[in-house]
Structure 1
């Protein structure tokens, strides 16, 4: 049996290769179908196909979660999903549209099974009351950021320069690596959580630090509340990121003396900032932290509040160079997004029952997609425009509400910190 640290590291390596292959294939497919020697589609059509794939992935999240929890079980679902993804990536080497379409369907099945269950297994390495679970999910953010960034850059570059077959071949190799690694480690993971009865309308049981059984309130509605608050947070941070990117373009042109800013520069800055802030959070939280997960959740909202103040003040505080305030805002946005992503998913896995954990995570991904599409629809059809001032007041109100109702939260979460 591996130690918990080794188990966390190995599972995150598996996820790194999975995200490497997924995002690399997604980027390369767009390049391939729009190329003259491919299917010569328009960029709009290619983006529509990718959007359809993303929608399908969200819609199958809950059914595949139920299938994993009730029939396949979580470890087996990763193996079966990885096998589907491997076969699908190999089918992409074909030049026939029907075979490529079949390959994309197999990739959809594979990704849908693997994505939920890797996350659930990571959470199951910790007992419910263990706050070091948050550290594992920060490592997960680092792994998926590295995997997605390197996948897009590596597979996309190799596909364009050496040939699309080589790009899809690299993706297939990455899938083979993570599948083989998981087959080796699956029975040696130091899983701590036991499977408990899933009773969404009753009071489930929770083991505390002394392994005594203590009652707690139903966590179903608490999980819904966390999902709703995390969506609000990322809506605020997403708006702030848009303002940051617009302001950062000025710095980009200043440094490179260009009329037009380059997308790769701002995205690379955002990626590097996220990694640096994730490592900083690991260093700060690596020892027993006095902050509960809910307090970290609250601080994330005050973090975006501070970012909105910095972006608003950059237009008025002429004594501070624009470059300093904008770069500071970008680093802070990356940091609070890493913290919120890790803490929210960590807390959801803490509150959910292991027996139905994959279904719960699938619901999270489905609601996330529906929320994003709903907000986009409102923005496009009702001319909804959110300003920095709106972000400031919304973050302030939510942050204060979380502070005022902190005792009630302890009751809702059954005493979990």
Structure 2
């Protein structure tokens, strides 16, 4: 990336200006955050691609597909659930820069724990990666924003676009490297490579921190000594209660994995509802903000349905590929984890096309509204599972399904993602009540939590998510939800007020 650095194109008054070197014309700190996020995503997506395969492998934990899907879904749910307290921790305790540094170290330690050939430490490793990811996810994007002179800086959107490329570069490379080593050489060596990736990202971050904005060191609303004492006391009390409870369950011989998974899954469903309800009932919100929150509930529920199906691309679809697909191209067999590189490469290819298309339609006054885009995303993710019915039927007939069926599923899901996910991020910032402006992005992530928690709960209940009837039911649910959003789009638009 060094060759992409140029001189002197930064605007005066930004963190990098005058004769300072820049990164694609952006503040040099963007290079630091770009590389940090790229390596963090490399570690995260590499481990994510291996996780369900390791869980079912005879040389891994040898679980059933349902149990593996439950663990995978609960893990994803926890990552996004922890993004909300991750943002709170930076706002009240350490500030974004120090929080991201701590997050990188925790993620690296988690991957190293996963790399240990000991099943007893596996869930501790997953927990550490989830905690670290929650701390990092909520804050590194905030630090990108700190590099610019407010929302009117003309380079701001371009900076986030460059940053987004880093995310997808890491996500694309990870399954190809970590997945290959994990599947073909040794599972734990694959997890160790994920730790190495995070170590490189952390080193890059620490070495390049001097190029970041001074605003990233600020703790916006620091806790008082009394608040710290009270928070530590409450945390210690809940930790002690959990320790005693699980000790009793364990020593009594009643402990199973569900004693861990069920509480997290229930929390993943209950907490998003509680957070949305608390904001909606807040009497400090004026009438316009209350109306916007009513509209936002539509988008939140739609997003939860979308992510419930979409994230099964890494579990249900991946496990189907492992057991029932012909994973070859022109006679050459490739690792199952490579399917997880399809989405990021398609994102990089199609995102500019979508950005151009929305602008072209806007110039003609024909750009679809937010509700219509959400409806499109839901219909497309439903269509991806209707498409999934074809390889399922082939496998039921005793044959291996061609790899291109699965590539087609990921392609349709990616198109759906591009109509819903960036739009959801944008509308979240636009519709956020002033009182909750800094918290609403965490609320958006809770939609992912709710969707993945639903998948986890179904798997814990013993539902086989790869059965034809269940796949068809989910597809119908998504299409019906999309149709409902489209039918009520005018009402939603009225609730949104001046937001478009």
TM-score by length of 1: 0.66
1:401 maps to which of 455, 480, 488:
488
1:87 maps to which of 81, 84, 109:
109
Secondary structure, counterpart of 1:380 in structure 2? coil
* Residue 369, structure 1, aligned to residue 452, structure 2: yes
The answer for the alignment partner of 2:170 in structure 1 is 147
Alpha-carbon shift at residue 179 of structure 1 (Å): 2.1
The answer for the alignment partner of 1:348 in structure 2 is 428
How do 1:119-198 residues align onto structure 2 when only pairs under 5 Å count? 119-122=141-144, 142-161=165-184, 163=186, 166-183=189-206, 184-185=208-209, 188-189=212-213
- Select between 343-352 and 285-294 the one with higher mean Cα deviation: 285-294
Alpha-carbon shift at residue 182 of structure 1 (Å): 3.2
The 1:262–1:351 alpha-carbon spacing in structure 2 relative to 1, beyond 3 Å, is same
Distance 1:72 1:365 in 2: 26
The answer for the alignment partner of 1:320 in structure 2 is none
Distance 1:264 1:342 in 2: 25
2:98 maps to which of 70, 76, 83:
76
Distance 1:107 1:270 in 2: 22
2:61 maps to which of 32, 35, 41:
41
Secondary structure, counterpart of 1:177 in structure 2? helix
Alpha-carbon shift at residue 375 of structure 1 (Å): 6.4
The answer for the alignment partner of 2:463 in structure 1 is 380
Distance 1:325 1:161 in 2: 24
The answer for the alignment partner of 1:16 in structure 2 is 38
The 1:120–1:178 alpha-carbon spacing in structure 2 relative to 1, beyond 3 Å, is same
How do 1:256-275 residues align onto structure 2 when only pairs under 5 Å count? 270-275=343-348
* Residue 338, structure 1, aligned to residue 358, structure 2: no
Contact 2:40 2:201 in 1 (8 A): yes
Cα RMSD of the aligned pairs, angstroms, is 5.6
Distance 1:180 1:372 in 2: 36
The 1:186–1:396 alpha-carbon spacing in structure 2 relative to 1, beyond 3 Å, is farther
Alignment deviations for residues 304-360 of structure 1 (CA, whole Å, 9 cap, x no partner) = 657979979xx9xxxxxxxx9999897454223123112212332444445435653
Distance 2:179 2:406 in 1: 30
- Select between 64-73 and 353-362 the one with higher mean Cα deviation: 353-362
Alignment deviations for residues 74-123 of structure 1 (CA, whole Å, 9 cap, x no partner) = 33321111121223334455445666665444333212211222344456
Distance 2:210 2:494 in 1: 39
The 1:77–1:221 alpha-carbon spacing in structure 2 relative to 1, beyond 3 Å, is farther
The answer for the alignment partner of 1:217 in structure 2 is 289
Alpha-carbon shift at residue 24 of structure 1 (Å): 2.0
Alignment deviations for residues 159-200 of structure 1 (CA, whole Å, 9 cap, x no partner) = 4555556534432232123223334247634979x979xx95
Distance 1:182 1:293 in 2: 39
- Select between 40-49 and 336-345 the one with higher mean Cα deviation: 40-49
The 1:204–1:51 alpha-carbon spacing in structure 2 relative to 1, beyond 3 Å, is closer
The 1:331–1:359 alpha-carbon spacing in structure 2 relative to 1, beyond 3 Å, is closer
The 1:292–1:354 alpha-carbon spacing in structure 2 relative to 1, beyond 3 Å, is farther
The 1:393–1:261 alpha-carbon spacing in structure 2 relative to 1, beyond 3 Å, is farther
Alpha-carbon shift at residue 256 of structure 1 (Å): 5.3
Distance 2:367 2:26 in 1: 20
TM-score by length of 2: 0.57
The 1:9–1:261 alpha-carbon spacing in structure 2 relative to 1, beyond 3 Å, is closer
Distance 2:111 2:139 in 1: 20
The answer for the alignment partner of 1:278 in structure 2 is 351
Distance 1:76 1:396 in 2: 45
- Select between 363-372 and 339-348 the one with higher mean Cα deviation: 363-372
Listed as ranges, the gaps of 5+ residues in structure 1 are 206-214, 316-323
The answer for the alignment partner of 1:25 in structure 2 is 47
Contact 2:179 2:335 in 1 (8 A): no
The answer for the alignment partner of 2:129 in structure 1 is 107
Alpha-carbon shift at residue 151 of structure 1 (Å): 1.6
